[in-house]
C-alpha cells in the first residue's frame, strides 16, 4: 500500500440503529442480574466469617449509592462518544492501543468470555434446582456441580452448549431478534420477581414456618425456630455489611456498560441519555425489594441465620426463589417463579452474547484484533465475532462441566473488570478537561469518586479472596490476558506497518458510526 496511511478503511461499521430505549435498558438490567443475585446470595454469605450485623438491604443501598458517580460518568461519556464498544473506545482513545486495548481485552472481553461458561452452567444448575423444588428428584443431577457426587456433567454440557448455541444462532440470523428476546425476557423476569415478593407477603411468617417444617422432615434438621434462635447480633453493623460490596460488584450495580457498548446502534438521543440511569434504578429496586421482603416476612435473624447455614444453602438451595416457591402451595405459581429464576440466568448469557461480540468487533475495527473479526454480514450481524464466542464459550462450558472444582475459581477474574472500570474513571478525568461550564467539574468529580470506589473494591477482592473466589489461577488469568493484549497489539502494529498502515492512527480519532 502506498500513499498516506488512513485510520479506517470502512466509512461505516455496518451495524444498524435498531436498538430502542427499552432494548438498551434491558441489556443493562440483564447484565446487573438482580434475580441471580437474589438466588446466589447464600453462596457468598455461607463463606463469610459471620453474618452478625450484615444487613442485605442496607448493603444494597450502600452498593448502589457507590455507583452513582459511575452512572454520571457513563451517561455523560455515552452521550458524547456513542460508538460500538462503549468504554473500550473511551479508554483506548485516552491511553492508546497498547494500554487501552489491553485493558479492555483483559477487563471485559476475556473476563466475560470466561464468565459466560460459568453463567451458562449456572443456568443449567437453576433448571435442575427448579426441577427438584417442583418435585422431580431425578433432576438433582443437573443441579449439582460436576465435582459433587450425583451430578451428570455430560448432560450438563449438552444442555449448556445447546442453550448457548440457540442464542448465538438467533443473533447470527436476526440481530434485532436477539435484542427483543432480551427485552421480553427482562420484563418477564422482573414480573416474576415481584410475583415472588407478593407470594411471600401473602404467605406471611407462618408460610415460612410451614416450609421450614417440611425441610426438617426431609432431613434438613432445621426448623424455623431453631434457625431464628441461632442468630445473635444487631440488625446492622456498617463494617460487617460493607464486606458484601464485592458481591454486589460481581452480580449487580457496576455493570452499566452494556447499553453504552451498543451506543452506535441506539435510536434517539433520549435512549442514549437515560438507559444507564433507568436500568440502574430498576435493578436497585428489584434487588433491594427482594431482600427487604425476605426480612419483612421471615424476620432478620431467621434470614441471616438461614443464609449462613451451609446445609440449607448447599443441600436445599435456600434463597429468595426457593423460599417463594416453597411457601406458594400452588404448583402453577411455583412453575411461574421457577421459570423466572431460570430466565434471570439465561438473560445474562443472552446479553453477554450481544455485547461481547460488540467489543470484539470494535477492537477488530481498530485492527487491535484481526480485522476479519469486524466482518458484518448482509443482515448486519458481526458473525465472525459470534463464531469466536461460540467456540470459546463451548470450550469453557465443557471445562466447567467436568472440572468445576477448578474452573469455578474463574469467578475471581471479576476483579479484572473492576480494574478496568478504574481506568475508565481515569479516562473520564482526562476527557473532563475538554468540557466547558459546570459539566467539567461534574464529570471530573464523578470520575474521581468512581475511581476511589473502584480502588476500595479492588482492595476488598484481594483482602477477602477466600470469599470471592480469588486464587493464583484466577489472578494468573488476569495477568496473562493483559499481557496477551500487549502482545496482540505489538503483532498487529508490526503486521500492518509492513503494509504501510499506521495502526496507532486509529486510536487518535473516533471510529465511524
For residues 134 and 360, the answer to whether their CB atoms sit within 8 Å is: no
Residue 97 lies in a domain: yes
Residue 15 lies in a domain: no
Binned at pLDDT 50, 70 and 90, residue 9 comes out as low
Domain count, the chain: 1
Half-sphere exposure for 340 (CA within 13 Å, toward CB): 27
Q: Dihedrals φ, ψ of 19, to 5°? A: -90, 120
Question: Mapped to the 3 state alphabet, what secondary structure does 167-213 carry?
Answer: HHHHHHHCHHHHHHHHHHHHHHHHHHHHHHHHHHHHHHHHHHHHHHH
Give CA–CA dist 24/16, Å, rounded: 14
Binned at pLDDT 50, 70 and 90, residue 2 comes out as very low
Domain residue limits at 272:
21-508
pLDDT in tens, 22-67: 999 999 999 998 999 999 899 899 989 999 999 999 999 999 999 9
Give CA–CA dist 158/138, Å, rounded: 17
Residue 7 lies in a domain: no
Question: What's the maximum distance between 2 C-alpha atoms anywhere in the chain?
Answer: 81
pLDDT in tens, 276-299: 999 999 999 999 999 999 999 999
Residue 513 lies in a domain: no
Residue 5 lies in a domain: no
pLDDT in tens, 120-157: 888 888 888 888 888 888 888 888 877 778 889 899 99
**CATH classification of the domain holding 219:** 1.20.1740.10
Residue 16 lies in a domain: no
What pLDDT is attached to residue 347? 92
Please give the average per-residue pLDDT across 412-431, as a whole number: 94
Angle at the Cα of 160 from the Cα atoms of 159 and 165, rounded to 5 degrees? 100
At 266 the three-state DSSP class reads strand
Residue 310 lies in a domain: yes
Give CA–CA dist 283/370, Å, rounded: 36
Quick one: what percent of the chain has pLDDT higher than 90? 70
- Record the pTM: 0.92
Residue 6 lies in a domain: no
pLDDT in tens, 389-398: 999 999 988 8
Q: Which residue has the cell 467489543?
A: 359
- For helices 34-45 and 331-365, the axis angle rounded to 10 degrees is 100
Amino acid at each position: 500500500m502506498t500513499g498516506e496511511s488512513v485510520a479506517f478503511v470502512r466509512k461505516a461499521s455496518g451495524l444498524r440503529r435498531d436498538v430502542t430505549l427499552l432494548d438498551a435498558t434491558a441489556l443493562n438490567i440483564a447484565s446487573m442480574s438482580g434475580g441471580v443475585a437474589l438466588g446466589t446470595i447464600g453462596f457468598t454469605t455461607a463463606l463469610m466469617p459471620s453474618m452478625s450485623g450484615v444487613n442485605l438491604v442496607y448493603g444494597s443501598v450502600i452498593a448502589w449509592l457507590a455507583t452513582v458517580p459511575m452512572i454520571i460518568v457513563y451517561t455523560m461519556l455515552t452521550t458524547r462518544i456513542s460508538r460500538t464498544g462503549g468504554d473500550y473506545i473511551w479508554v483506548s482513545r485516552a491511553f492508546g492501543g497498547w494500554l487501552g486495548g489491553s485493558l479492555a481485552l483483559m477487563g471485559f472481553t476475556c473476563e466475560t468470555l470466561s464468565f459466560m461458561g460459568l453463567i451458562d452452567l449456572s443456568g443449567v444448575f437453576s433448571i435442575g434446582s427448579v426441577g427438584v423444588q417442583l418435585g422431580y428428584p431425578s433432576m438433582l443431577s443437573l443441579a449439582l456441580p460436576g465435582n459433587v457426587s450425583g451430578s451428570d456433567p455430560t448432560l450438563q454440557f449438552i444442555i449448556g452448549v445447546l442453550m448457548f448455541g440457540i442464542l448465538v444462532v438467533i443473533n447470527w440470523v436476526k440481530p434485532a431478534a436477539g435484542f427483543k428476546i432480551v427485552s421480553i425476557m427482562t420484563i418477564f423476569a422482573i414480573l416474576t420477581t415481584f410475583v415472588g415478593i407478593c407470594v411471600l407477603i401473602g404467605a406471611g411468617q407462618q408460610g415460612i414456618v410451614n416450609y421450614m417444617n417440611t425441610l426438617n422432615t426431609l432431613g434438613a434438621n432445621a426448623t424455623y425456630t431453631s434457625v431464628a434462635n441461632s442468630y445473635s447480633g444487631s440488625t446492622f453493623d456498617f463494617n460487617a455489611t460493607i464486606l458484601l460490596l464485592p458481591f454486589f460488584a460481581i452480580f449487580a450495580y457496576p455493570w452499566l456498560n452494556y447499553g453504552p457498548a451498543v451506543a452506535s446502534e441506539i435510536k434517539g438521543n433520549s435512549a442514549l441519555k437515560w438507559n444507564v440511569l433507568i436500568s440502574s434504578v430498576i435493578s436497585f429496586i428489584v434487588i433491594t425489594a427482594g431482600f427487604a421482603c425476605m426480612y419483612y416476612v421471615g424476620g432478620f435473624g431467621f434470614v441471616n441465620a438461614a443464609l449462613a447455614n451451609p446445609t440449607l444453602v448447599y443441600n436445599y438451595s435456600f434463597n429468595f426463589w426457593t423460599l417463594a416457591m416453597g411457601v406458594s402451595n400452588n404448583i402453577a405459581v411455583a412453575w411461574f417463579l421457577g421459570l423466572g429464576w431460570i430466565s434471570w440466568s439465561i438473560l445474562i448469557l443472552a446479553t453477554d452474547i450481544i455485547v461481547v461480540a460488540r467489543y470484539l468487533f470494535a477492537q477488530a475495527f481498530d485492527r487491535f484484533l484481526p480485522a476479519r473479526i469486524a466482518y458484518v454480514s448482509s443482515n448486519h450481524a458481526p458473525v465472525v465475532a459470534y463464531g469466536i464466542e461460540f467456540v470459546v464459550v463451548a470450550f469453557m462450558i465443557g471445562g466447567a462441566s467436568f472440572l468445576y472444582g477448578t474452573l469455578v475459581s474463574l469467578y475471581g477474574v471479576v476483579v479484572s473488570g473492576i480494574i478496568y472500570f478504574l481506568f475508565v474513571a481515569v479516562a473520564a478525568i482526562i476527557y473532563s478537561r475538554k468540557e466547558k461550564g459546570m459539566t467539567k467539574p461534574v464529570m471530573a468529580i464523578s470520575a474521581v469518586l468512581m475511581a476511589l470506589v473502584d480502588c476500595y473494591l479492588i482492595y476488598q477482592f484481594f483482602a477477602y479472596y477466600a470469599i470471592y473466589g480469588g486464587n493464583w489461577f484466577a489472578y494468573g488469568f488476569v495477568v496473562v490476558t493483559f499481557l496477551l493484549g500487549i502482545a496482540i497489539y505489538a503483532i498487529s502494529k508490526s503486521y500492518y506497518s509492513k503494509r504501510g498502515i499506521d495502526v496507532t492512527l486509529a486510536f487518535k480519532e473516533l471510529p465511524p458510526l
